[in-house]
Amino acid sequence: MREKRPARREFLRNGAALAGGFTLSAAAPALGQRAPAQPPMIKGERQGEIAYGARSKYVTSARIPHGGRPSPDNFGLTFHVATPLQDQVGVITPSSLHYFATTRGAFLPDIDPGQHTLMIHGLVDRPLTFTVDDLKRLPSVTRLHFIECAGNRASRRAKTVQETHGMTSNAEWTGVLLSTLLKECGVKGSAKWFVAEGAEEVKGASSMPVAKAMDDCMIAYGMNGEAVRPQNGFPLRLMVPGFEGIFHTKWLQRIKLVDTYYMNYNDFGHLHEGKQDNRVAALAYQIGPKSVITFPSGEQRLPGKGFYEIRGLAWSGGGAIKQVEVSTDGGKKWNKAQFQGTPQRMAHCLFTYAWQWDGSQTEIMSRCVDEVGQAQPTREQIAKYWNKTFDQTFSVPGLDNSVQPWRIAKDGSVTNGFA
């Protein structure tokens, strides 16, 4: 019986396919045409198709090292790798393609979740240690959130959207709110900051305001419907929605409540010159409103004039995206784009815009506004704000959230508008 079952299922499935999706081809012989050839079959497990759903061998989209440094390198150390946004379908980045970065070249910790704990201590009434199972017993939240590395900036040399914008990804995260844990511990009034620390070799640590902890930080154990992946912090990752990626402490094992900015090594990297002018420092936490067209984008090619659905992603560290506009004439006229689904707070949202290309050379770009009214700027606008000359040497202070133009040539080839 056992062996017969799959065959029967196969039969039923084929029958259903004939009755449903393949009706056109099924009808073809009646019109005197040849039936399409049967595709070759995957027999049993070839590379994990059945037990863990490997993708088609014809789909080869992959992460690439960011910034030209191999990852892993000859020693097995991992560095930054970027998400292939040009290939993404929909709003969720598959866990296998989620970008990741390391504060320093690092091996991936191979953590036994049964041995891992999170300790919360410092300026609290009751220090507490939680096992991963403890955390899973507590009230949970499931939220869509992006993470973006502060180094996610387009250069003139970058060719694809993976190179210009691939250090951001979007996943559905499940976990317990940090505020839930902090209420269990009882935070003292003198606690103004907290230090979060991971379990990797350098025990990467960052200081963050307690106001953020109480607002929306989450200890995530779930990612896109399964456990968080090792490169994204298995078994526990601190989510700090809308803050720069480095704050989202991976392999989280400790949170200490303190009364002052702790100036850990990760924090030291956020320092800027100028005691009087803290405008640059103000850009150091929260990611600004940002959007980018992922189709058509760099290195892609339009086969000819006619209809195209322009697609892209928009997000902000300030909240949900309120509006996205697309220009197909180099920024002269802006047209409202459509959202596919409802934009979530601190999450990528998908936008589309229906376009008829007349075959002439042009530049396409997108811009967005978020729920607190912040608008995505062009590089010229940012340069003007800082009283700097806008030229090839201008670098956007803080995270670069400037408008990304893509140039479309008459032959349909798409290139970086900054090149």
Among 13, 57, 157, 279, binds another protein (CB under 8 A): 279
Half-sphere exposure of 13 (CA within 13 A, CB side): 6
Rounded least distance, CB 370 to another protein, Å: 9
CB of 216 to another protein, least distance (A): 7
Choices 88-96, 165-173, 257-265, 360-368 (CB under 8 A): range interacting with another protein: 257-265
Pairing between β-strand 226-227 and β-strand 141-148 as defined by DSSP bridges: unpaired
- The residue (of 176 and 293) whose beta carbon lies closer to another protein is 176
Choice from 3, 110, 112, 125 touching another protein (CB under 8 A): 125
Distances in whole angstroms, Cα of residue 44 to Cα of each of 6, 14, 53, 310: 11, 17, 12, 39
* Tokens 């995957």 belong to residue: 42
Per-residue binder mask for another protein (CB under 8 A), 43-82, x = binder: ----------------------------------------
- Give, as ranges, the residues between 340 and 379 that touch another protein (CB under 8 A): 371-374, 377
Q: Binding another protein by CB under 8 A: which of 84, 235, 298, 319?
A: 319
CB of 46 to another protein, least distance (A): 37
3-state secondary structure 230-245: HHHCCCCEEECCCECH
Q: Which of 87, 184, 299, 363 binds another protein (CB under 8 A)?
A: 184
* Closest distance of CB 260 from another protein, Å: 6
Q: Are residues 405 and 364 in contact, defined by beta-carbon separation less than 8 angstroms?
A: yes
Does residue number 275 form part of the binding site for another protein (CB under 8 A)? yes
Map the footprint of another protein across residues 153-182, applying CB under 8 A. 181
Figure out which of the listed residues 54, 141, 280, 302 binds another protein, where binding follows CB under 8 A.
280
Phi/psi of residue 375, each to 5°? -110, 140
In the complex with another protein, the residue whose CB is nearer, 104 or 410, is: 104
List strand residue ranges (DSSP E) for 163-274, in order. 168-177, 193-198, 205-209, 218-223, 226-227, 237-239, 252-258
183 near another protein, rule: CB under 8 A = yes
Nearer to another protein by Cβ, of 111 and 414: the residue is: 111
Residues 6+ apart with CB under 8 A from 290: 148, 314, 315, 316, 368, 376, 399, 401
Please tell me the distance from the alpha carbon of residue 238 to that of residue 185, in angstroms, as a whole number.
17
Among 52, 58, 268, 307, which residue sits at the site for another protein (rule: CB under 8 A)?
Answer: 268
**Is 190 a binder of another protein (CB under 8 A)?**
no
Nearer to another protein, 54 or 119 (CB): 119
Summarize the chain as % helix, strand, coil (round to 5): 20, 30, 50
Q: Which of 191, 255, 260, 192 is nearest to 219 (CA)?
A: 255
Residue 231 amino acid letter:
Q
Q: Which stretch binds another protein (CB under 8 A): 24-32, 86-94, 260-268, 404-412?
A: 260-268
Round to whole Å and give the CA distance between 100 and 194. 23
**Residue 404 binds another protein, judged by CB under 8 A:** no
What is the C-alpha separation between 106 and 109, in angstroms, rounded?
9
Window contacting another protein (CB under 8 A); options: 130-138, 145-153, 218-226, 358-366: 130-138
Nearer to another protein, 28 or 138 (CB): 138
Angle, vertex CA 401, rays to CA 274 and CA 403, nearest 5: 130
DSSP 366-392: EEEEETT--BPPPHHHHHHHTT---ST
Q: Determine contact, residues 238/221, Cβ cutoff 8 Å.
A: no
- What is the amino acid identity at position 358? D
Total of chain residues touching another protein, rule CB under 8 A: 69
Q: Is 207 strand, coil or helix? A: strand
Among 312, 317, 405, 417, binds another protein (CB under 8 A): 317
- Of 16, 19, 50, 282, the one binding another protein (CB under 8 A) is 282
CB of 106 to another protein, least distance (A): 10
Contact set for another protein, span 196-255 (CB under 8 A)? 197, 201-203, 205, 209, 211-212, 215-216, 253-254
Tokens 């042009």 locate to 362
Q: Can you give the binding site for another protein, defined by CB under 8 A? A: 104, 119, 121, 125-130, 134, 137-138, 181, 183-184, 186, 195, 197, 201-203, 205, 209, 211-212, 215-216, 253-254, 256, 258, 260-265, 268, 270-275, 277-288, 317-319, 371-374, 377, 381-382, 384-385, 398
